[in-house]
Amino acid sequence: MTIKRIGHRYSDAKTGATLDVWFPRSNKEVARNCLALKAGVIKGDFVTVEITSVDEAPTTAEEAYLRLHLLSECAYKPHTINLDGVFGLLANVAWTSAGPVLPSEVETLREAITDEPHTLTVTSIDKFPRMVDYVIPEGVRIADADRVRLGAHLAPGTTVMHEGFCNFNAGTLGNSMVEGRISAGVVIGENSDIGGGASIMGTLSGGGKQVISMGQRNLLGANAGLGISLGDDCIVESGLYITAGTKVKMPDGSIVSARELSGQSKLLFRRHSQTGQVQAIMTDGTLWSGLNSTLHSND
């Protein structure tokens, strides 16, 4: 299926480098305006981007931006659209309250708008902007917009609390409580809870190539960590970090590496309070009460 969208592009006035592209859902020519544009530090124009196959890697920054939009619009789930090479296509941008500029142009921008009633704020220097500046997903709550990157997939019913984080090409598939970190590539199933301070290994720096996922009705306890996938109805005790090589004692007394349990359902992972040994016991998932439905009615 061919995807064709009209976007508004900002580019550096000196070099012509693409800084960002916004694709309105209406697919109409809707222009943006900002002080950086008014000052002549950046330029704006319309661009039409066509993707003939989402299975092929993007070749331009404009196409990369469209793919990130499609993920955040929940038109595609994580890992169903090719993002190979996206880091090399995107410029490192200073995201400011006066518009996006190259980091080297921040001082130029500051001087150019001295007569404006505006205090320049730089929110980040990064290749990826905040999602909410480009896409507002339906039926979600995000307490701190700085912690969700464009390209995150947040399904309706998702609540991201102040310390929650979601990277691009990662996210939720249904009602979820996110108080911890969803790293790049990680997918969270419906009715799962990522506890405060919890972290899930991604596929970028420090992570491996194995994509980590959680099924439905899982609880990752506060300050816990996950380096294997979980099936459905699993619990990881607060403070317990499970890596692929963690040695786990099974109910029958055998010892296995956690990687052998990846993707299995109805397991409670806990650490023995006296011996420190990591154990896995069978559970039906009712040891925690599940999500509070009222908290995820985000209409």
CB 152 within 8 A of CB 168: yes
Q: How far is CA 257 from CA 136, 253, 279, in A?
A: 41, 13, 11
DSSP string covering 225-287, please? EESS-B-SS-EE-TT-EE-TT-EEE-TTS-EEEGGGGTT-SSEEEEE-TTT--EEEEE--STT
How far is C-alpha 160 from the chain's CA centre? 11
CB 122 within 8 A of CB 141: no
Which residue is catalytic, options 62, 63, 105, 179?
A: 179
For this structure, is 163 an active site residue? no
Q: Which residues are catalytic?
A: 179
